[in-house]
Structure 1
Amino acid sequence: MNLLPPVISIHRFLEKLGEEVELRGGGVAAIFNSSLSINPKPKLSYKSFECLVLSLPRQSRNHQQPIIFAVVYRAPRAYTEFLKEFPEFLSNLVLKTDKIIIVGDFNIHVDNNKDCLSVAFISILDSIGFSQCVHKPTHCGNHTLDLVLSYGVGIENLTVLPRNPVLSDHNLITFDFSITEYMPLIKNSFSRCLPDSAVAKFKEIIPITFKPVLAVDINNKFFKTLSSIEIDHLVDSSADSLRLTLDSIAPLKKKNVKHSKLAPWYNSQTNELKQLSRKLERKWRSSNHVENLIDWKNSVKEYKKALHKARAAYYSKLIEENKNNPRFLFSTVARLTESHTSTEPSKIKMHLFVPNTCTVMQRHTHAGREI
């Protein structure tokens, strides 16, 4: 278990497919470092395969969509329904993000170009834009069953390790990928609370802890013959004793520092204006000069104008890119009008047009009275 990260989270999904009771295999799981802000997505139910979907948010200024990881298991059975459900599964993922990694045991002989299922499966991947990255046997039957599918992510150093027959009839697959725009939302920090009572107790315990060392005569021939490695070991042992003593009196306390999410329209220009505004504010507060106060207020106005302009440009671009997607447009309009309770077209129309209708009726009423 030394290969596992020091702090891990495990998510698993177990479900019997169909109504069959005695199925071999099944169940998918994911193990990851809990310092990553990975969240399990709602369970997706398909009849022909099992899947566990995880989401890693990206909060850079240029990327707001998450990175999606999925673990899939398909039992070796009839594949007609799988060829219908799996393209739907891939399409739903692609609509949510531009970076996807899918791993799992598909029980498809992708190494056999004459296999009907293999040909149909590769055709589905090509049509949606996924890449299949494993090109070596991954099973004791000398077929490639365990796959790594990527969409918008470069897979590097993929290795199919030798199979251990004691553990499994499948090979272990390892690979690397880089995500340059990822910024963790949660950062861990550690601190100690050292009141006067803890300091006094520490000073009281230290002589007892180092009593054997303090009682030794350093002029003894034994110490003069110690090598540099042995001296280093003695120093490290003393440091460990100090640390353990301090931990027993004032243990380290973990604190999670959450980073605020950046608005999707926040860009480098607005960031520079914000930094300039804060700089001018600090200058004014330190000097209390009227000129510095005016400069700061003007910089705040420029910053707010840039934010408003960036927000308008962001939504204009979003609406233009999705002008043929009514569901997305209605959802966007609901967010802009702060109508989060429903994204149904009819209700949004009522929200938008009823106040206008009332205004028109009032105008006609006033006009009629004047006549």
Structure 2
Amino acid sequence: MEKARSSGLGGGLAVIHRAELKRSPLPLPDLTSMECLAFKCKPPYSMTVLLIYRPPKPHASFLHEIHDLLTSLCSMSTRIVILGDFNIHIDNPSCHLATEFLSLIDCLCLQQHVKAPTHIKGHTLDLVITDAPINNLEVNDLGVSGHKLVSMAFSSMLPTIRPKRQISFRNWKQIDPTSITVDLQHISCPVSATVDELVTYYNTALSSVFDLHAPIRTREVNFKHSAPWFTQELRQMKTEGRILERRCKQSSLTVHKLAFRDHQKTYSKSLKDARF
């Protein structure tokens, strides 16, 4: 699985995997500050993988693009693995970009696991970011590149269990208009009845006709792409976050920046709680 750079030298992304790993590529927005490749692994290796290469030159839209990308990914997926060469000196506490980036992933309840230098010049550029613990992370110099090999193991990767739901429905398309019209005309109206009694009678009579022409059926279904946990309250929080983000960008005031960060932390925690 690969994605070549559209123009210029260098760059490009590739994934080498075992044949038994079933995966499906995920669509991504057009990005100008980095190269990305994303795919979802199918059971029993259920996870979403995002591979990133960020060129070393500064790009003003990187934080904005990575924020939108990760927020979207975290809202739709669980068990997320983000890998790649970010060309950010994560090990340097005085690096403004590193501080901003680490704050962003912290807001989304993600964790960056690589603590050792991954480049021969001594900086931590190659990152492993997940929303769950990993095991046996190692950084080894193979002597074939300026970058070192980062290896890790994931804990239990269980199949995604999608519980079936039972739904009830009527097959309205099978109704013959002429036949149901005749039956509806045979419904008589009580001469003396209260409003409540008339409503009850109407509903009962109508249901009886519908049961005759389109009886209620039940069926077990599996909503593969549904997200019942994403409630109206979460949608409202997402909208409020967008408002705070725009206000922060327009004013560049610290108070608006802090308000946006606090809201994103709360929103990310609410997403995680709702999913589990």
User: What range is the shorter-chain TM-score in?
Assistant: 0.5 to 0.7
Distance 2:6 2:17 in 1: 24
Change (3 A) 1:15 1:121: same
SS of corresponding position for 1:75: coil
SS of corresponding position for 1:80: coil
Cα deviation per residue 1:329-358 (whole Å; 9 max; x = unaligned)? Answer: xxxxxxxxxxxxxxxxxxxxxxxxxxxxxx
Distance 1:266 1:54 in 2: 27
Distance 2:20 2:44 in 1: 15
Q: Which residue of 1 aligns with 2:4?
A: 14
29, 32, 40: which one pairs with 1:55? 40
Distance 2:75 2:150 in 1: 28
Unaligned runs of 5+ in 1: 1-10, 61-65, 184-261, 268-303, 328-371
Summarize the alignment of residues 1-371 of structure 1 with structure 2, pairs less than 5 Å apart. Answer: 11-16=1-6, 21=8, 23=9, 25-58=10-43, 67-151=47-131, 153-164=132-143, 167-182=144-159, 264-265=163-164, 318=228, 321-324=230-233
TM-score normalized by the length of structure 2: 0.59
SS of corresponding position for 2:15: strand
Cα deviation per residue 1:36-92 (whole Å; 9 max; x = unaligned)? Answer: 2111222542100001101013479xxxxx520111100011132101100111011
Distance 1:121 1:144 in 2: 13
User: Between Structure 1 and Structure 2, whose CA radius of gyration is higher?
Assistant: 1
Change (3 A) 1:325 1:136: closer
**1:266 Cα deviation (Å)?**
6.3
Between stretches 36-45 and 132-141, larger displacement belongs to 36-45
Kindly, what percent of the aligned residue pairs are identical?
31
| Larger helix proportion of the pair | 1
SS of corresponding position for 1:32: coil
Cα deviation per residue 1:190-219 (whole Å; 9 max; x = unaligned)? Answer: xxxxxxxxxxxxxxxxxxxxxxxxxxxxxx
Amino acid at match of 2:232: K
Distance 2:159 2:129 in 1: 20
Amino acid at match of 1:94: C
Cα deviation per residue 1:132-161 (whole Å; 9 max; x = unaligned)? Answer: 00000010110000000101x221100001
Distance 1:31 1:158 in 2: 19
Amino acid at match of 2:138: T
Contact 1:48 1:82 in 2 (8 A): yes
Contact 2:4 2:11 in 1 (8 A): yes
Contact 1:44 1:51 in 2 (8 A): no
Change (3 A) 1:34 1:44: farther
Q: Which residue of 2 aligns with 1:4?
A: none
Distance 1:111 1:263 in 2: 40
**1:98 Cα deviation (Å)?**
1.5
Contact 1:79 1:117 in 2 (8 A): no
Distance 1:100 1:115 in 2: 26
Amino acid at match of 2:228: L
Contact 1:163 1:169 in 2 (8 A): no
**1:324 Cα deviation (Å)?**
3.7
Query: What do you get for the CA RMSD once the two structures are aligned?
Result: 3.1
SS of corresponding position for 1:149: strand
Q: Which residue of 1 aligns with 2:204?
A: none
Change (3 A) 1:142 1:326: closer
Unaligned runs of 5+ in 2: 167-216, 237-276
Amino acid at match of 2:22: S
Structure 1 segments, 4+ long, off by >2 Å, are 42-45, 57-60, 262-267, 323-327
SS of corresponding position for 2:114: coil
Cα deviation per residue 1:274-327 (whole Å; 9 max; x = unaligned)? Answer: xxxxxxxxxxxxxxxxxxxxxxxxxxxxxx99x86x99xxx9x927x5124679
